Amino acid sequence: MASEITYAEVKFKNESPAPVVKVPPETKKPEHHPQKYPLWLPWLISLLLLLVCFALVVIILVFHFWHSSDQPRALQQQFSEWKCDSGLPQSTDRGWTCCPEGWRRFQRSCYFLSPDTMNWVESEQNCTGMGSQLVVINSKAEQEFLSKQIKRYPQREYFYIGLFADKEGQWQWVDKTPYNVTAAFWREGEPSGGVGEDSTVIYSPEKTLNNWIDSKSILTRYRICEAAAVTV
């Protein structure tokens, strides 16, 4: 006899319901408002940047000025006050050309007309001590410039320049520039070749450009010193 299979429906009363997952409500992001700066702040920043740039330019110019290898450092060390001009006439060079305060500039040189007198050797030593030399005249234009300058001091008649005679009649410049008699500016009758007249002065009262006179180097005269202008 086949056994009968009985099916029964069973229900569990304590069955837990499916868990309900609660999603937290979306949080609202706070709105970002641009921060407001004072209207003068950009101007202040611009001014500070401008001052910084200006300071850098000054530092660079000073550094170049004092460390320029092609300039007489002795002259730079002697003087703390300088007068500078922007560029040179008829020149495309940029920058500044400077001479010590109280000196006169012509082209690329600075000139000092002394207010006191010394003999020729002392005059040359004094110029050298300032990082310069007794003036060496290389052109008619330079001679014209100096002739005009000395006439501003009519009470100073004689100025030593850097031309001297090592031997009688053998003239030479202090910087070893070759002496060219055709480019000299001797006064009529000069050099006279007198005893001991082995130095040269510019005679201020002379009305022409030919105002050089030979002189005894032991006499005390005014002097003209020359140095290369400093460019920055």
DSSP states of the chain: -PPPP-------TTPPPPPPPPPPPPPPPPPPPPPP--TTHHHHHHHHHHHHHHHHHHHHHHHHHHH-TTS-HHHHHH-S-EEEEES-TT----SEEEEETT-EEETTEEEEE-SS-B-HHHHHHHHHHTT-EE----SHHHHHHHHHHHTT-TT--EEEEEEEEEETTEEEETT-PPP-GGG--BPTT-----TT--EEEEETT-SSS--EEEE-TTS-BEEEEEEEPEE-
> Which fold is adopted by the domain 65-88+95-231?
Mannose-Binding Protein A; Chain A (3.10.100)
What's the pLDDT score for residue 178? 92
Q: Are 164 and 200 in contact (CB under 8 A)?
A: yes
Q: Are 188 and 214 in contact (CB under 8 A)?
A: no
161-192 pLDDT, tens digit each: 999 998 877 999 999 999 999 899 999 999 98
What's the pLDDT score for residue 112? 97
What's the pLDDT score for residue 86? 75
> Which residue has better confidence, 34 or 209?
209
Domain ranges of the chain: 65-88+95-231
Region 105-129 average pLDDT: 95
> Which residue has better confidence, 97 or 117?
117
128-147 pLDDT, tens digit each: 999 999 999 999 999 999 99
Region 141-155 average pLDDT: 95
53-91 pLDDT, tens digit each: 777 766 655 555 444 444 456 676 778 788 888 765 555
Q: Would you give the distance in Å from CA 85 to the centre of its chain?
A: 10
> Which residue has better confidence, 122 or 19?
122
pLDDT band for position 39 (cuts 50, 70, 90): confident
**Of the ranges 1-5, 157-161, 220-224, which one carries the lowest mean pLDDT score?**
1-5
Region 192-201 average pLDDT: 91
For residue 192, give the amino acid letter. Answer: S
What's the pLDDT score for residue 157? 96
Question: What is the rounded CA–CA span in Å between residue 66 and residue 73?
Answer: 7
Highest-confidence segment of 15-19, 55-59, 99-103? 99-103
What's the pLDDT score for residue 20? 56
What's the pLDDT score for residue 82? 85
Phi and psi torsions of 67, nearest 5°: -115, 15
Q: Are 55 and 47 in contact (CB under 8 A)?
A: no
Q: How far from 131 is each of 13, 36, 41, 53, 103, CA to CA, in Å?
A: 118, 61, 50, 33, 13
Residue with tokens 């837990």: 16
Question: What is the rounded CA–CA span in Å between residue 178 and residue 173?
Answer: 7
